[in-house]
Structures are given as C-alpha cells and as structure tokens.
C-alpha cells in the first residue's frame, strides 16, 4: 500500500501508536512530521525513521496550545510543501494528569485538561491544517484517535471516555463539514494496545491486576483475539484509512478491538 509523496502530520508521535504509524507510513513512502511534547523521544523517533531510509522531521507541539499547533502546520508545509494527512493521535487519560481521577475526587482542572488535549486539541489541529488539506491533491483526510471508550463506559476514565465519545462525533461532523472540499474524516477505536499509556494508566488504578492475563492493563480476558493489541495493528489501520485504497471510507468510527465489543464475557467462559 503505497503512501508515496504523501505528507503526514502525526500528533503525539514520540512513542506508542503515533510512533508506530510514523514509522509505517514512512516505510511506505510518506513524508512524516513527528510531533509531541516529549522532545527527546520525538527527536529519536524521527531520527530512527531517517536512519531506516525514510523522510521525517520532528516539531514540538502541545496540541492544547494554539500557537504550537499553528507552528506545527507551518513547519510541516515549510518542510514538505503540503499536508495530506492529519493524524490527531495525541491523547491523555485523567490518571496521567492527577492522582485524584475518580469521578468523586476529580478536579475541574483535571477534566478540563483531558478535554483540552483530546477534543480541543484535535479541533485546533484541524482548524490550522485545513487551508493546507484543502489544497492537497493526494487523498486528503483527517484521522482521529477514538477508543472503545468512545462506545462504552469503563470503571475508571469518566473524563477520558467523555472525550473519546466527543472525538467519535467530532469525526462524523467533520466528515460532513469537509466533504465539500473532498477531505475525508475517520476515527479508529482501539481496545487495549501495548503502549506506555496503558501501563501508566493501569499502574495508577487501584485494583488493577498485578498478574494473570490482565496484568499490565491489557484487559485481554475480554479480547476474543486473545492478546493485547500492538501499536502496529493500529498503524496498519491508520495507513489504510490514509491511503487511496480507502477512498470510499468516510465518517467511520472503526473498532480495532480484538472483538471486545462484540460480546459480554471473559474468554475463560469459552474455554480459552
């Protein structure tokens, strides 16, 4: 699946799903703008892509900052002359913001921070990228990071789930708003993927299992595909959604969840 000559801007791509997507897209011919608030890891991710023969730049960007976001899009166009794919990947969970992340204890500041990064950040990025996406002739699209938490509630994560629900409907409304310009908007909704986010959040949640199949935050006891997701599983979907091969796919909230939301039980009930 060639992504030759397409320029991707990927937020929160120093590590995890964003970094895997950056590497995969570059290996398929895309120019990639890696961006994050973690400059050391972001520079390393971009350098690894270049070392592997790909084309990448690193640009610092906190997606909740309007000047940062404007600077990111300008830097992308200065480097590569275009933006064809905006991948709104940056995301946080309240357990990464504060120790007081249960609903009873949660501060308004914590709720606002999650919404500022996960929802407002995606909005700011689309606003800033839109003039360039409109000029793209290479299958322009926006790809947003949803979650299974866009669909159902979880025992911990009220702010996160609220934000991811908003991202799902933001995507559908974007698909409508951008259709006249020939720009698609899609959203991927993973279950547990083996990244630092899952480990960080799980470590913060009291009662998370320390051994067994769900240790480390994997929640694999509900995965019909009986393993945790890998960042590359999601990167494959993002690369497909970005490619011309998905040109009739628009406004979707695409579950990539190992079957979690197809049923209600744990795999020991079916002998796994």
103 CB-near residues (< 8 Å, 6+ apart): 158
Between CA 214 and CA 152 the distance in angstroms is: 19
132/160 with CB nearer ligand NAD:
160
17/156 with CB nearer ligand NAD:
17
Q: Is 97 in the site for ligand NAD (CB under 6 A)?
A: no
Q: Which residues pair with 34 in a beta bridge?
A: 10, 58
Rounded to the nearest whole angstrom, what is the least distance from the CB of residue 41 to ligand NAD in the complex? 6
Q: Is 174 in the site for ligand NAD (CB under 6 A)?
A: no
Q: What are the two backbone dihedrals, phi and then psi, of residue 10, each rounded to the nearest 5 degrees?
A: -120, 115
Rounded to the nearest whole angstrom, what is the least distance from the CB of residue 182 to ligand NAD in the complex? 26
Between CA 174 and CA 163 the distance in angstroms is: 16
Between CA 9 and CA 34 the distance in angstroms is: 7
Is 160 annotated as catalytic?
Answer: yes
CB 188 within 8 A of CB 237: yes
CB 86 within 8 A of CB 72: no
Q: Is 89 in the site for ligand NAD (CB under 6 A)?
A: yes
**What is the β-pairing status of strands 141-145 and 184-190?**
parallel
Q: Is 223 in the site for ligand NAD (CB under 6 A)?
A: no
Q: Which of 175, 193, 238, 242 binds ligand NAD (CB under 6 A)?
A: 193
Q: Is 14 in the site for ligand NAD (CB under 6 A)?
A: yes
Residues 104-133 that bind ligand NAD (CB under 6 A): 117
Between CA 254 and CA 256 the distance in angstroms is: 6
Between CA 40 and CA 92 the distance in angstroms is: 19
Q: Which of 54, 62, 77, 253 binds ligand NAD (CB under 6 A)?
A: 62
Segment interacting with ligand NAD, rule: CB under 6 A, options 26-34, 46-54, 59-67, 72-80: 59-67
Rounded to the nearest whole angstrom, what is the least distance from the CB of residue 196 to ligand NAD in the complex? 4
Q: Kindly list the residues in this chain that would bind ligand NAD in the complex (CB under 6 A).
A: 11-12, 14-18, 36-38, 61-64, 89-92, 117, 145, 147, 190, 192-193, 195-198
């Amino acid at each position: 699946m060639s992504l030759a000559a397409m320029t991707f801007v990927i937020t929160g791509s120093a590590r995890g799903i964003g970094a895997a997507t950056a590497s995969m897209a570059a290996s398929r011919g895309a120019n990639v703008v890696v961006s994050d608030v973690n400059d050391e890891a972001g520079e390393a991710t971009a350098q690894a892509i270049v070392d592997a023969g790909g084309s990448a730049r690193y640009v610092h960007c906190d997606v909740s900052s309007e000047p940062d976001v404007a600077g990111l899009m300008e830097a992308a166009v200065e480097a590569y002359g275009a933006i064809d794919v905006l991948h709104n990947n940056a995301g946080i969970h309240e357990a990464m913001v504060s120790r007081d992340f249960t609903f009873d204890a949660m501060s308004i500041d914590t709720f606002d921070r999650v919404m500022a990064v996960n929802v407002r950040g995606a909005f700011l990025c689309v606003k800033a990228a839109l003039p360039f996406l409109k000029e793209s002739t290479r299958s322009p699209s926006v790809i947003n990071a949803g979650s299974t938490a866009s669909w159902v509630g979880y025992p911990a994560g009220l702010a996160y789930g609220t934000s991811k629900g908003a991202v799902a409907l933001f995507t559908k409304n974007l698909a409508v708003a951008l259709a006249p310009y020939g720009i698609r908007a899609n959203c991927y909704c993973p279950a547990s993927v083996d990244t630092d986010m899952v480990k960080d959040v799980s470590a913060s949640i009291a009662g998370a299992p320390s051994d067994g199949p769900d240790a480390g935050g994997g929640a694999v006891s509900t995965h019909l595909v009986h393993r945790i997701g890998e960042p590359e599983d999601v990167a494959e979907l993002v690369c497909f959604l970005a490619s011309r091969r998905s040109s009739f796919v628009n406004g979707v909230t695409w579950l990539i969840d190992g079957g979690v939301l197809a049923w209600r039980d744990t795999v020991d009930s079916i002998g796994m």
